[in-house]
């Protein structure tokens, strides 16, 4: 998550309007979901992958690291399609399930890459304040933004407490590890409450009256980028239709 976050903040698409990137990523996602897995999902996912490591310059290692856990879910979800259980309670490979499993996995992976294209190029702090224009209540976006910021502090606290415990051999055995983890949870809980109280005071000092509204930097939507996005989506749909028809 942190690697994705850093990529989103430091990548060449950082200054692009989030709507442009949402249109591209969600457009590709729609193609991956709506078009036939072969070749629609392949083209959509492939295009997203090329854009991700090409123009958006996100490191393949970062993409792979971010995709690890979702890929594990995809892999485990295809298992029931690939195996069958006979009446004798014996497991066997289900030949008829290979194609549906491949289609499901292909579509899921393509959709995942499309989502990564958005999350690896668009910082959350660019997206959340703009969501109220889409009708999302400010209270929801403000709490989400605050949670996002506090998450990093919480991780820092967890890391610091864990290091302090480890330095005093807190994880030497299973027994000490359980005890350390319990202590860690208690310490973090207290810290989180204390932090929340101090943060409330810090905000009050700057005139907080119940709203966490901030100024969002104005960004222009690039017409060439939007046109290129539309052209790419049309191309994927057309190519999918042609390949499907000829297959």
Footprint of another protein (CB under 8 A): 5-6, 9, 14-15, 123-126, 129, 145-146, 148-149, 152-153, 195, 198-199, 201-209, 211-217
In whole angstroms, how close is the CB of 210 to another protein at the nearest point? 10
Q: Measured from the CB atom, is 84 or 125 closer to another protein?
A: 125
Least spacing, CB of residue 214 vs another protein, in Å: 4
Collapsing DSSP to helix, strand or coil, 103 comes out as helix
84 or 157: whose CB is closer to another protein? 157
Give the span between the Cα atoms of 142 and 199, in whole angstroms. 14
> What 3-state DSSP class applies to 177?
helix
Maximal C-alpha separation, the chain: 72
Q: With the C-alpha atoms ordered 9, 14, 20, 23, is the resulting torsion angle positive or negative?
A: negative
Which CB atom, from 5 or from 20, has the smaller least distance to another protein? 5
Nearest distance, CB of residue 206 and another protein, angstroms? 4
- Compute the least distance from the CB of residue 63 to another protein, in Å: 20
Radius of gyration of the chain (CA): 23
Nearer Cβ to another protein, position 88 or 209?
A: 209
The CA distance from 83 to 122, in Å, is 39
């Amino acid at each position: 998550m942190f690697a994705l976050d850093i990529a989103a903040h430091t990548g060449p698409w950082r200054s692009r309007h989030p709507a442009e990137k949402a249109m591209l990523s969600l457009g590709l996602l729609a193609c991956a979901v709506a078009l036939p897995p072969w070749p629609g999902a392949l083209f959509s996912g492939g295009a997203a992958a090329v854009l991700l490591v090409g123009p958006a310059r996100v490191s393949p290692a970062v993409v792979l690291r971010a995709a690890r856990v979702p890929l594990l879910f995809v892999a485990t979800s295809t298992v029931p399609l690939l195996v069958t259980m006979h009446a004798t309670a014996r497991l066997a490979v289900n030949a008829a399930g290979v194609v549906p499993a491949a289609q499901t996995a292909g579509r899921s992976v393509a959709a995942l890459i499309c989502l990564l294209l958005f999350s690896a190029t668009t910082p959350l702090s660019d997206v959340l304040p703009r969501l109220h224009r889409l009708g999302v209540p400010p209270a929801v976006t403000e709490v989400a933004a605050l949670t996002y910021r506090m998450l990093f502090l919480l991780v820092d606290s967890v890391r610091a407490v864990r290091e302090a415990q480890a330095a005093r051999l807190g994880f030497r055995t299973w027994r000490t590890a359980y005890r350390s983890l319990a202590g860690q949870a208690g310490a973090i809980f207290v810290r989180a409450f204390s932090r929340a109280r101090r943060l409330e005071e810090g905000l009050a000092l700057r005139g907080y009256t119940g709203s966490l509204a901030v100024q969002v930097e104005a960004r222009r939507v690039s017409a060439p980028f939007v046109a290129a996005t539309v052209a790419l989506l049309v191309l994927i749909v057309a190519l999918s239709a042609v390949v499907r028809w000829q297959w």
